[in-house]
Structure 1
Amino acid sequence: MIVKDLRFRLVFLVDEEGILLREFLHSKGISKRTLTATKYEGGQLTVNGIEQNVRHRLQVGDEVVVIFPPEQPSEGLQPENGVLDIIYEDEALLVLNKPAGQSTIPSRDHPGGTVANLVAGKFVHDDLPATVHVVTRLDKDTSGLICIAKNRHIHHLLSEQMIASGFHRQYVAIVEGRVQEKRFTIEQPIGRKDGSIIERMVCEDGQFARTDVEVQRHFEKDGHELTTVALMLHTGRTHQIRVHLQWAGYPLAGDDLYGGTKKWIGRQALHCAILRFAHPLTGADIQFTSDLPMDMQEISRSL
């Protein structure tokens, strides 16, 4: 019986005479760490079908194949069977729609049933020798789009894209109060709140954080003014949107950790509605969207 090799691989054609294999692969975004893992952990580098080391000198027209090593699931990440709302999937990545109430990764309080557990189970089912690389993470009670890379190289490329501000994440939130400015930017550093392992706050010695805010709609609910806003993240600090909007005086509806009330919704009214980025392999611009879940729709529907 022939066993199919399911290790992730990339194929490149050389267009520069005399370049070293190491330099050529670096120009393709393959990190030194990934090359080391490829060499020592079960991967392979071939040129025109012959295995070569990174000091091999290439010629125009050579075919370079990188076979990435199989990855072992992280210890403590138990694969589980379950339903995933898959928006998009290819050899490199997954885009999922996460419901509110589901954690992204396991923790002491939520060791199972997370997105990562279910994705690990899917990889086992698909005989994919990969672990789970979460590119964009959502809080347990935030709903919407999540991107997951299928191997460390893709994760590296998308992380680099985030650093270069080429990875766009747009959220929709319902906040308490009437937001006056149509568009504005919050640039306030965020750090851990003293005495808490969970809460964050705006503080001078925190990490730089930037959130763009745009008002979509004003409305009233039970005599209270509320505002639907669209938010663009430029950084990815823990609880960034929740902390920034609390600081601005407009806490998220349902977010009692940061000054909101659960009168209309039992979780923070926050949803990741759009992911837009360049595909890490093709470079093509791709965009994914997710409609508001019913609990957020209901707040503004029953006026």
Structure 2
Amino acid sequence: MTSVATAPPAAAPPTPEPPRAKRRFTGSVGFLAVPIAVWLVFFFIVPFGLILWYSFGEKPSLYVTHSNDVLSLARYVEALDPAFLTTFWRTTQIAITGTALCVLIGFPMAYWMAVKLSPRARGLVVALVLVPYWTNFLVRTIGWQITLSPEGFLSDFLNGIGLLNGPLQVLYTQQAVQLGVVYNYLPLMILPLYVALERMDHKLLEASRDLGGNWWSSFWRVTIPLALPGILAGMLLVFVPLMGDYITPSVLGGASGSMVGQMVAGQFQRAQNWALGSAMAIVLMLAILLVVIAFGVLFRLIGIALRRFRHLGDLDTTGAIR
């Protein structure tokens, strides 16, 4: 009986080596934040620390600006005197009114830019909105000073058409400051609103109208909720710098339109009382910080509401708006 020779099993092909992963940058991502961290340290934290330190001091004599030999909270008591509180309330009124006017003026402008204009024309209009803002802040404010003066062309024009019977008496009043701050800060409101409205899905408006909603209900139920992040961002961008504005009330306000920024600057420049000026500045910054925190809470609540809006929708299945 003969045996049949069997061939040895064939060797398995070698397993190919997995491709080597491309080497990536393994450095800390936090390294990219070094420039902004340096900027914040040297131009915000250090100056704020100095102002806070000065606010605990005093003005020891007529020719010495400050001294921290004896630390106390007496400067904060002086800062909260009736004159400061009156000016602070006036500043808050101007800031709130100016922010509200910027919303009322900026929203229609931003809506027209984002919805009604063709994409080709939007860039030109955005540039036209930004061009005045690129002009020097002081030059723009002085331009309004010339325009609102009793001898200015606006006064002559209003007298010529019969709306006035004498010189225009607006300059160096709170109304002039109000007009100036709205003009100076309006672009900071238009741009966030434009971004929010430009990113809005316009099919939602069409769906709202198809399901029985008129233009008013579609505006309040669809457009406003989607534009709320832009509205809040614009309000924050306008309100915070407006509260500390120094140039506009100095040029247009005079004594009747003074703001807190002028009082703080006056303590440093004229009175040479750096301790009291620092205490006033800290009070102003704390008030602004509370506003920022309030806006942060609103941003959080709006984000939660928008996520629910995206998941649940704002139109019910019966074709009527809720």
- The interval holding the TM-score normalised by the smaller chain is under 0.3
Higher RCO structure, 1 or 2 (CA under 8 Å, sep 6+): 2
Quick check: which one's strand share is greater? 1
Q: TM-score, normalised by structure 1?
A: 0.25
Quick check: which one's helix share is greater? 2
Q: TM-score, normalised by structure 2?
A: 0.24
